[in-house]
Amino acid sequence: MEVIIFSGADQVAEYAADIVGQMLAHKPDCVLGLATGSTPVAMYRCLAQRYRDGALSFARATTFNLDEYLGLDSDNSHSYRSYMRRELFDHVDLESERTHLPECAPGEDPRAVGPAYESLINKCGGIDLQILGIGRNGHIGFNEPSSSLASRTRVKTLARRTVSDNHRLFDSPAEQPGMAITMGVATIMDAHRVLLLATGEHKAEAVRAAVEGSISAMHPASVLQAHRRVRVLVDEAAASRLTLVEYYRRVHTQAEWIAGEFSVSGVCDPWFQDGDG
Ligand code: PGA
């Protein structure tokens, strides 16, 4: 895993937006995997600003979000569809019919949503770049501790800790859903590239267990250790429990030097140099 440590959350957001911008430049019709939560908000603001500045375009891109609450109408202000409209979709040139979330229409069997979502991802050629946050309990998407590492998009019961971490976003506990439909751990592992973003001291233990702990279903983010192309972007606070900080910094400095010396013309990041991986 490449662990890149930044001085603060704003630098994490700028770098993540750089990578998304490079993905769009390298493959304008790319498929992006998107995340919700507080962490990626700053990255979405950077992307919207860069779109307004004419620096990037989503016109040919397709998006798949990690998850959506079950039991909330998509127009409900707490749905992840509404979040994505607020934070990104309404501010850039994404075609709305190419923005996907694992939504369950009223009356639809929620068990049918996952397989249909997986088929659509495959039909679109798979996810080129997946953005991830991490829960304090190590979840990615809503793959809570004990999720099968081979899981696919499906209905998931939310952990108590996830529900309590997200209380602040709802007006009353009665409004807050206890279930969601989420991409599975294996769905995420199929993405060609993964960017995991974590900022703040409250994420330090989850980041340590994901990067330096054992691979375990009890900490689903740890499975990313088995992915070929993962970058973990953390600020100093989220990196504060890592033991190999000095090594990660050296690796990054040297990788940047090699990329600078030997980059293929017009492509500045090695992630985008060797085909689509
Ligand atoms: P957060 O959520 O960005 O709101 O901390 C991350 C997550 O639960 O995946």
pLDDT value of residue 186: 98
Write down the pLDDT at residue 53: 98
Structure tokens at 142: 């809503």
pTM of this structure: 0.95
Instruction: Provide the sign of the torsion angle of the four alpha carbons 229, 57, 53, 55, taken in this order.
Output: positive
* CA–CA dist 181, 168 (Å, integer): 21
Q: What is the 3-state secondary structure (H, E, C) of 76-136?
A: CCCCHHHHHHHHCHHHCCCCHHHEECCCCCCCCCHHHHHHHHHHHHHHCCCCCEEEECCCC
Query: What residues are annotated to the active site?
Result: 67, 137, 139, 144
Calculate the dihedral angle through the C-alpha atoms of 241, 217, 19, 52, rounding to the nearest 10 degrees. -100
User: How far apart are the CA of 195 and the centre of ligand 1, in A?
Assistant: 14
- Nearest ligand 1 atom, CA 40: 3
Pocket test for ligand 1, best of 12, 34, 38 (most atoms within 8 A of CB): 38
Separation of alpha carbons 189 and 166, rounded Å: 25
Asked if 153 and 190 touch (Cβ cutoff 8 Å), the reply is no
Instruction: Provide the pLDDT for residue 274.
Output: 60
Closest to 153 (Cα-Cα) out of 232, 95, 68, 32 = 68
Nearest CA to ligand 1 atom 8: 135
CA of 37 to the centre of ligand 1 (A): 4
**What pLDDT shows up at residue 276?**
47
Q: Which residues line ligand 1 (CB under 6 A)?
A: 37-39, 133-135
Burial 10-48 (b: 16+ CB within 10 A, else e): ebbbebbbebbbbbbbbbeebbbbbbbbebbebbbbbbb
Q: What per-residue confidence (pLDDT) applies to 277?
A: 39
pLDDT, tens digit, 9 for 90 and up, residues 90-120 = 999 999 999 999 999 999 999 999 999 999 9
Q: How far is the CA of 139 from the centre of ligand 1 (A)?
A: 9
Residues of the chain with pLDDT under 70: 263-268, 273-277
Ligand 1 probe mutation, 38, 39, 132, most atoms within 8 A of CB: 39
Ligand 1 atom with least separation from CA of 197: 3
| Nearest Cα residue to 162 out of 220, 208, 76, 238 | 220
Query: In angstroms, rounded to a whole number, what is the distance separating the alpha carbons of residues 93 and 88?
Result: 10
For residue 3, the SS3 value is strand
